[in-house]
Amino acid sequence: MSILHLIDTNQWFSSFSVEKSEQAIHALEQGHILYLPTLPFQLFPEENEFLSPSFAEPKAKNISFNRHTQILRCAKCPAEKYDRLKEMMQRFSIQAEQLVQSLLPAYTAEIQLGRTSFRPIEIAGRLSSYRKDDTRLHVDAFPATPNQGRRILRVFSNINPHGKTRHWRVGEPFSEVVKRFLPQVSKQWRGSAALLKWLKLTKSTRTTYDHIMLQIHDRMKADLNYQKTVAQQSIHFASGASWIVQTDHVSHAAMSGQHVLEQTFYLPVAAMANPALSPLMVLEELTGRSLT
């Protein structure tokens, strides 16, 4: 069965039937990817110049924007272009939010807006440490930004102007990932969470949940045999298409592609239709204790 759940729309804010929304939430929570092949993010002609790796630092994988603070992190942006790039990312962020509001209305009361990112650098051939190497299958967990059990929901849009797809690999279901890697997770040192916070290495407390998810993330990426042999499928997201995925439980790897926009949201587990499917509750069930 395909892991893609098709959503037929060409509007960022459209009216979906209750049934369509329920099906979408069900699919998402089961670990499917909501695929919107006819929902492009439209650039204004004068924005095409941003489709160039020259704005991003070679080592950074993205340009990031925080809509709350209005801060755009773009080291190589010429001053006169800063505001226009910000406007483009803000427009994407608002449209991604409208999509979530219209397609997943049951989430809207609780969902929290995270960072917006723009990724103008070709993935294939990019050099990075294994932990940062997103061409290796992984579930998302962020070292500096503990999410303390909240779900990570991401909206992507492939804005490649040359018709180039974004190629992902998608691996085994989270329940299988956990069976394999939870036994390898080392214990969190007592006091380490407080120390990380005190050193400002984390923005909030790294809970046991965050510790386990980071370890799973790292161990998946470190295991080259696993990367090669685990059951997996290849997916090519067309340019002009958008997709929504909960990247904290869908094992994914981005193999090639250039120019994508991405909006991150955080969702409290209690806001899910079926909280038992969250990584937090799956891990709490297996470890028999509270992890946050």
Ligand X SMILES: O=C(O)CCC(=O)C(=O)O
For binding to ligand X (CB under 6 A), which residues are involved? 119, 134, 140, 166, 247, 252, 254, 260, 262
For ligand X, which residue has the nearest CB?
Answer: 254
Q: Which of the stretches 4-12, 52-60, 68-76, 243-251 binds Fe ion when contact is defined by CB under 5 A? A: 243-251
How far, in Å, CA of 218 to CA of 146, rounded? 15
| Residue number with CB closer to ligand X (193 or 220) | 220
| Residue number with CB closer to ligand X (5 or 217) | 217
For position 140 contacting Fe ion by CB under 5 A, the verdict is: yes
For position 29 contacting Fe ion by CB under 5 A, the verdict is: no
Within 10 Å of residue 44's Cβ, how many Cβ atoms?
10
Q: What is the DSSP string of 120-131?
A: -S-STT----GG
Contact partner, 141, from Fe ion, ligand X, none, Cβ < 5-8 Å per class: none
Of 152, 248, 143, the residue nearest 203 (C-alpha)? 143
How far, in Å, CA of 98 to CA of 95, rounded? 5
For the bound state, the minimum distance from the C-beta of residue 254 to ligand X, rounded and expressed in Å, comes to 4
How far, in Å, CA of 142 to CA of 120, rounded? 21
| Residue number with CB closer to Fe ion (97 or 140) | 140
Contact partner, 166, from Fe ion, ligand X, none, Cβ < 5-8 Å per class: ligand X
Q: What is the DSSP string of 214-240?
A: HHHHHHHHH-HHHHHHS--EEEEEPTT
By the 8 A CB rule, do 216 and 140 touch?
no
Of 259, 258, 262, 254, the residue nearest 234 (C-alpha)? 254
For the bound state, the minimum distance from the C-beta of residue 147 to Fe ion, rounded and expressed in Å, comes to 13
For the bound state, the minimum distance from the C-beta of residue 154 to Fe ion, rounded and expressed in Å, comes to 8
Of 183, 152, 188, the residue nearest 266 (C-alpha)? 152
188 DSSP assignment: P
For the bound state, the minimum distance from the C-beta of residue 283 to ligand X, rounded and expressed in Å, comes to 19
Contact partner, 260, from Fe ion, ligand X, none, Cβ < 5-8 Å per class: ligand X
For the bound state, the minimum distance from the C-beta of residue 76 to ligand X, rounded and expressed in Å, comes to 19
| Residue number with CB closer to Fe ion (43 or 250) | 250
| Residue number with CB closer to ligand X (61 or 91) | 61
Contact partner, 119, from Fe ion, ligand X, none, Cβ < 5-8 Å per class: ligand X
For the bound state, the minimum distance from the C-beta of residue 134 to ligand X, rounded and expressed in Å, comes to 4
Q: Euclidean distance between the first and final Cα of the chain, in Å?
A: 34
Q: What angle do CA 221, 226, 232 make, to 5 degrees?
A: 100
How far, in Å, CA of 143 to CA of 251, rounded? 17
Question: Given the rule CB under 5 A, which residues bind Fe ion?
Answer: 140, 247
